[in-house]
Amino acid sequence: MLRQFIVFAAVVFNCFAARVELNWDVGYVFGIRDGFTYRRAIGVNGELPFPPVHVTQGDTLVINVHNSLDVPTSIHAHGLLNNGTNYYDGPDMVTQCGIPPGESFTYVLETKNQFGTFWIHGHTRHQEVDGLHTPLIIHSRKQPVVDYDEELIMTFEDWFTTEFAVRQAYIDSLEDIRTLTSNFPKALINGYDGNKTAPITFVPGKKYRLRVICMSINNWFKFRIPGHTMTLIEADGVESMPLEVDGLSMGPGQRYSVIVTAHDSDEFNYMYNVTSYSDALVSQGLTPMVYTGLINYRDGAPVKTIQSPADEQL
């Protein structure tokens, strides 16, 4: 009887699964992401940042990747178990070959029973440092542990003023690493200069699921919304029992989902705080770096400033 139920459940689950197919042309793009430096970067289909990927639990994600770079490339779905497709799980020349310039390759990624917040990034020559990354959201087919009205994605990343290959060549040329010139990265929030990112809009009384992704390479990030409480419901693609937290402290690659309930009144707007820091690149005056952004309840409403000891404790 149990065996029959398992087979029936598997058949029903597969009936709802879909095949989501994307075409990615990985190539160079040029622009100013940090508000200061015009430089070459790596994007998809001429865009940077490029759109997040949304699928549903059980779906098959097919990504047709064409390499328009002048060096090999590959991608990796960070957090997927890759059971049966372990060759997708490692960097090139370890478990897979890179895609040669001018060539194409099709990734067939099975989400199976996984759901939650993930991201896709380059896995060749640290191309993720130069922009080749985007969120991957696998929506669950079951009821969430906490109901919410709307969900938003929030990403953090570090951004250097030079391409990774240029920076690496400079470091390799040093006879004494202690002579390394400081080049602490700027922080990007949702793909743009941390202090100039578009406001986050809250509607009074609504519950929001914030999917927060640390797409950085070196830096850690702290995140708070003073005057608001966060309820943690997911960590690194694993659903958790609700846990109330003051804020988040995130290392490279980490992902969290938190529920934030908007206030009932739109009398005030609020500011969120993001701190970018690194214990590996300690340089006086450069780390940590603090960024703020607007939580917009109503255009033109005064901003209510709230300070808390938790800002220093995170």
Tell me the per-residue pLDDT of 67-118, one tens digit each, with 9 for 90 and over.
Answer: 999 999 999 999 999 988 888 887 888 888 999 999 999 999 999 999 999 9
Tell me the per-residue pLDDT of 169-220, one tens digit each, with 9 for 90 and over.
Answer: 888 888 887 776 666 788 999 999 988 899 999 999 999 999 999 999 989 9
Question: Are domains 2-139 and 150-313 of this chain identical in fold?
Answer: yes
Q: In the chain, what are the domain boundaries?
A: 2-139, 150-313
- 34: tokens are 């940090």
User: Is 243 in contact with 278 (CB distance < 8 Å)?
Assistant: no
Which architecture does CATH list for 150-313?
Sandwich (2.60)
pLDDT for 5 equals: 41
Whether the pLDDT of residue 3 is over 60: the answer is no
pLDDT-derived band at 282 (thresholds 50, 70, 90) equals low
Whether the pLDDT of residue 7 is over 60: the answer is no
C-beta contacts of 193-199 below 8 A and 24+ residues apart: 193/33, 193/34, 193/35, 194/274, 194/276, 194/289, 194/291, 194/293, 195/35, 195/291, 195/292, 195/293, 196/35, 197/293, 199/293, 199/294, 199/295, 199/296
Whether the pLDDT of residue 283 is over 90: the answer is no
> C-alpha distances in angstroms, 184 versus 51, 144, 166, 280, 282?
27, 39, 15, 10, 9
User: Is 208 in contact with 259 (CB distance < 8 Å)?
Assistant: yes
- Find the length of the chain: 314
pLDDT for 253 equals: 96
User: Is 183 in contact with 166 (CB distance < 8 Å)?
Assistant: no
pLDDT for 278 equals: 80
Structure letter (DSSP) for residue 252: T
In CATH, the number for domain 2-139 is 2.60.40.420
Tell me the per-residue pLDDT of 51-68, one tens digit each, with 9 for 90 and over.
Answer: 999 999 999 999 999 999
What's the mean pLDDT in 152-170?
92
Who has greater pLDDT, 141 or 177? 141
What's the mean pLDDT in 136-155?
96
